[in-house]
Structure 1
Amino acid sequence: MQLNAGNTKLENKIIAEFNKWQLAVGDGKETNISPNSDSGEMLIKIPDQYIAHKYGEPIQKLFEVTYPDFLHNISSHEYLRSRAILAPTNIVVDEINTQLLVKIPGTLFTYLNQDSINDVGDDDNDFRSTFLVEYLNSINMPCIPKHELKLKGQSLDIVGLYLPRVAFSHEHTYVAISRVTRPEGLHILIDSDDCSSKNITKNIVFEEVFYNLPSVDN
């Protein structure tokens, strides 16, 4: 994602340093503070200026720094679509949505996906009985929409990064930190087992993925 230009030389210097850090994370070049880690997996230290330090409930803290003065801006489309809360798994996203929905005035609507199977052959086919509707509705995995989607009249964008567990896939960390267009827009809350926030997370980059990419100079 392209970063916005600053208004002063100092701002542009900060933006350039932020961009350099982003690319280092994406390329797997950011300093690995755990040199004995497995190939492709490393531990990196997040600069303190991007850390949202937790005091109390982590989702509430991240919400406060991401959506300040929320109720006064809830009708502003620009306010809502310009910020986001990101999380590594559907389960964590559900936890965030559940807590944030109660902050939005209005009636809660629930929308369900299609849970029937078409084109399964003749009536004697046991496909329908093999895959029960309850089973299909319980599937919760990446790249497949959930059976149940909820909203309260507002479609919230997602900003910031909540990590109650480490990233687990190639360039997960980079994809998250590259969503913002200015350094001060990044707020990362890394939750630890002792209920405190920290500034160390896993960065997974498999360099072999880049081996066959065409050069930008060609």
Structure 2
Amino acid sequence: MRLSVGKDQANIEKIKDFASWLLDIGEGNLGGPNDGVTIIDIPDDILINDPDDHIGSLIEFVYPSILEKYSNTNYFQERAILAPKNEVVQEIYDHLLRKFPGDEVEYLSSDSICDSEFVHDQFDANLYSPDVLNGLKVSGLPNHKLVLNIGVPVMLLRNIDQKNGLCNGTRLHVISLGKCVIEARIITGTNIGNRTFIPRMSLTPLGKKIHSNSQKDSFL
């Protein structure tokens, strides 16, 4: 027990030191007096040293021995990769997905025009072809194509059932993949360990430029 407590305390101190280091960078306290440009020494243990496969190196650092541990929910509960843009998230996910055994399952959204608020004689449906709708990438909505595999970690983009912990940002671990439903286990929040089922559902984007122009039947 003493060894466990000592190890946990050491991890806490390490996290605090790293957080302080990040704050010092953001506040400009590192590198000495400067006018906004300076040189900062980055610790070797957080550097990506493989210029040819930087994403692979990042995944290996965050998810070591993933093939042996991907079925363990706790393994993903303790790990995550943050990215600044959705394009980077997709690139990392595609790279990570290729590491999982088994067949991938592809889900496609069913996009259509929601014309209830249009005057039909002023509405040109040709402006919103399926190719245009399928190419939309809107914050809070999944892309047209979603590729999953059993064992992958995923994150909800909308509040579905807040009482049961299914909120925007909730992370889940995929257990099984059906034709119209995804079974997963919650790995963050107050409902960790609970199993849930995510069905296909109709979603309407809220952006002013495309509000009421399209609706998407897909998974979150």
Q: In which range does the TM-score fall when normalised by the shorter chain?
A: 0.5 to 0.7
The two structures, once aligned, show a CA RMSD in angstroms of: 3.3
Partner of 1:24: 24
Aligned to 2:99: 103
Q: Give the CA deviation at 1:127.
A: 4.6
Runs of 4+ in 1 over 6 A off after TM superposition: none
**8 Å CA contact retained: 2:113, 2:128:** no
Mapped partners of 2:53, 2:43: distance in 1? 22
Unpaired runs of at least 5, structure 1 = 159-218
1:63 and 2:59 matched: yes
For residue 113 of structure 2, what is the aligned residue in structure 1? 117
Q: Post-superposition shift, 1:62? A: 1.6
Partner deviation per Cα, 1:31-71 (whole Å, 9 max, x = no partner): 3687356xxxx886533332232264222212222221111
Q: Which moved more, 1:96-105 or 1:67-76?
A: 96-105
Aligned twin of 1:78: 74
Partner of 1:153: 150
> Identity percentage over the alignment?
31
In 2: Cα distance, 1:129 partner to 1:97 partner: 34
What letter matches 2:147 in structure 1? K
Distance 1:112 1:147, change over 3 A: same
Deviations 1:75-117 (A, max 9, x none): 1011123212332222222222222222111221122334112
Which structure shows the bigger proportion of residues in strand conformation?
A: 2
Q: How many residues are matched? A: 149
Using structure 2 for the length normalisation, give the TM-score. Answer: 0.54
Change (3 A) 1:36 1:12: closer
Higher relative contact order (CA 8 A, sep 6+): 1
Question: 1:107·1:152 contact (CA, 8 Å) conserved in 2?
Answer: yes
Q: Tell me what 1:131 maps to.
A: 128
Alpha-carbon distance between aligned partners in 2 of 1:12 and 1:76, rounded to the nearest angstrom: 23
